[in-house]
Amino acid sequence: MKIGVIGTGYVGLVTGACLADLGHVVVCMDKDTRRVKLLKKGEIPFYEPGLSETVKRSVKGQRLFFTSKLEEVILDAEVIFIAVGTPPKANGEADVSAVIDVAEGIAKVLKKNHSKSSKSELGYKVIVNKSTVPVGMGDIVTDILKKRGIPEKKFAVVSNPEFLKEGSAVSDFMHPDRIVVGASNNRAFNLLSELYRPLNAHIIFTSIKSAELIKYASNAFLATRISFMNEIANICEKVGSDVVEVAEGMGLDKRIGKAFLNAGIGYGGSCFPKDVVALLHLAQSHGYDSRILEAANQANEEQWKIFVEKVEATLGGADGKRIAVLGLSFKPETDDTREAPSIKIIKRLIDLGAEITAYDPVVKKVVGLKLRMAANPYDAVKGKQAVIMVTEWNEFKQLDLERVKSLLKEPVVIDGRNIYSPVKMRNLGFTYVSVGRS
């Protein structure tokens, strides 16, 4: 099939590259001409395992193309994906102006072509919203096209939310738990079913509004689950239980399941924090106050602060302390530091007077933070009064801990991700503080 993808950010690029890998012919468009130039050379603007190979393979196979011109995406494509950002406004509401601009752009191109020759038949187009948008956006995009005079029988707007996780996005795309298609007619649904047929995945067909809410509800549920476990961890510390054991015991109940029960320093990234707040806002704008979402968000805002307090309590204050921080990205296998708890923790420690040296396997600088970057974890810990672990990269799980101990000025490890065994750390002679394991 001929596909167009508008937006080559995280979701758009992974979607475009993976659809091309499935054998479709895909044109990806971005208004950022510099980015398009890089992509044409096979250079990926962010770190995502497996993506570069997927892009290069499809570019070479002439199934994946990049452009900065909207016309080149729209005219031939049977399915057009909108995959532009919906960042939070100051009040938490999702800013959908980029989606609206793209919809206007599509409408303009279609209109121009439709009216050029009344004889030439404008092909049927399915416009798929992949961006995370408030419920009702599908109707707004439909209205934009209708207002421009595009006949209703010539197009359908579909919601097909993306559930990929940074760090495993390519594999998530290729092996989805489910594909959600929100459409108002069978023709559009059948086209999307055909598009995803090579994945042999479970596809569910819903209304557009349900599909839009499935995305927000899924992310908000997972975020709530993490906040819940972080609270259980805080309770564990008070009562003397171990949250890792508690999570294991809970997760074996099939109704609960094992995933996303890891307590830590709070969720970050470009989705959970913004989507919880956006859903809260959406509910409020319809006259409903969600107490659970409010609490999940508040608990998350507290969790990194509790960790900083732990650092202060362990070191007898942070002022003048030299501290190594291992990990900067909001989770392993990505270079993304958006809403990363690491950044909030480091900022606060610097404000409290600490001197920070950081190391991350892929993040090599953080704009606006006064910290030293080390070339490897051992250089980072050398001569420091403590090391704090904020991202659970595999590299950190395999550290030579004897060497770490010999390099540290004081053998103090404060672990925000429960990477190590408390017993092992104590036997090695560390003062070891973690989350929810008193």
For 375-395, the DSSP string reads SSHHHHHTT-SEEEE-S--HH
Binding range to ligand UDX, per CB under 6 A, among 144-152, 190-198, 254-262, 348-356: 254-262
CA distances from 233 to 149, 214, 266, 435 (A): 57, 28, 11, 6
Closest CB to ligand UDX among residues 105, 134? 134
CB neighbour list of residue 31: distance below 8 Å, 6 or more residues apart: 68
DSSP 6: E
Closest CB to ligand UDX among residues 165, 209? 165
Q: Report, in Å, the least distance between residue 269 CB and ligand UDX.
A: 3
Q: What are phi and psi of 273, to 5 degrees?
A: -60, -45
Q: Which helix (H) or strand (E) holds 414?
A: strand 412-415
The CA distance from 394 to 404, in Å, is 16
Binding range to ligand UDX, per CB under 6 A, among 31-39, 261-269, 279-287, 400-408: 261-269
Q: Report, in Å, the least distance between residue 367 CB and ligand UDX.
A: 20
Q: Report, in Å, the least distance between residue 132 CB and ligand UDX.
A: 8
Yes or no: say if 279 and 286 are a contact pair by the CB < 8 Å rule. Answer: no
Residues 116-175 binding ligand UDX (CB under 6 A) are 162-166
Question: Applying CB under 6 A, does 396 fall inside the site for ligand UDX?
Answer: no
Between CA 404 and CA 413, with CA 408 as vertex, the angle to 5 degrees is 70
| Residues contacting ligand UDX: total by CB under 6 A | 19
Closest CB to ligand UDX among residues 205, 260? 260
Residue 115 exposure: Cα atoms within 13 Å on the Cβ side = 8
Q: Report, in Å, the least distance between residue 161 CB and ligand UDX.
A: 8
Question: Applying CB under 6 A, does 182 fall inside the site for ligand UDX?
Answer: no
Query: Hey, how many other C-beta atoms are within 10 angstroms of the C-beta on 124?
Result: 13
Among 8, 15, 219, 329, binds ligand UDX (CB under 6 A): 219
- Sign of the Cα torsion 129, 134, 138, 141 reads negative
Q: Report, in Å, the least distance between residue 278 CB and ligand UDX.
A: 12
Yes or no: say if 82 and 103 are a contact pair by the CB < 8 Å rule. Answer: yes
Q: What are phi and psi of 387, to 5 degrees?
A: -120, 135
Tokens of 417: 């991700």
Binding range to ligand UDX, per CB under 6 A, among 66-74, 82-90, 121-129, 219-227: 219-227
Yes or no: say if 337 and 304 are a contact pair by the CB < 8 Å rule. Answer: no
Yes or no: say if 155 and 110 are a contact pair by the CB < 8 Å rule. Answer: yes
Among 144, 180, 261, 354, binds ligand UDX (CB under 6 A): 261
Residues 66-125 binding ligand UDX (CB under 6 A) are none
In three-state secondary structure terms, 345 is: helix
| 28 a catalytic residue | no
CA nearest to 271, candidates 260, 281, 263, 279: 279
Closest CB to ligand UDX among residues 196, 378? 196
The CA distance from 131 to 112, in Å, is 25
Question: Applying CB under 6 A, does 267 fall inside the site for ligand UDX?
Answer: yes
Q: Report, in Å, the least distance between residue 398 CB and ligand UDX.
A: 19
CA 283 to chain CA centroid, nearest Å:
22
Closest CB to ligand UDX among residues 113, 168? 168
Q: Report, in Å, the least distance between residue 76 CB and ligand UDX.
A: 29
25: β partners: 2
Q: Report, in Å, the least distance between residue 236 CB and ligand UDX.
A: 15
Q: Report, in Å, the least distance between residue 166 CB and ligand UDX.
A: 4
Binding range to ligand UDX, per CB under 6 A, among 179-187, 262-270, 313-321, 352-360: 262-270
Question: Applying CB under 6 A, does 12 fall inside the site for ligand UDX?
Answer: no
Residues 373-392 binding ligand UDX (CB under 6 A) are none
Closest CB to ligand UDX among residues 123, 176? 176
CB neighbour list of residue 367: distance below 8 Å, 6 or more residues apart: none
Among 155, 307, 330, 420, binds ligand UDX (CB under 6 A): 330
Catalytic residue from among 18, 28, 236, 271: 271
Closest CB to ligand UDX among residues 25, 214? 214
82: β partners: 6, 129
The CA distance from 133 to 138, in Å, is 9
Among 310, 331, 344, 348, binds ligand UDX (CB under 6 A): 331
Residues labelled as active-site residues: 271
Which residues of the chain form contacts with ligand UDX (CB under 6 A)? Answer: 162-166, 219, 222, 226, 260-262, 264, 267-269, 271-272, 330-331
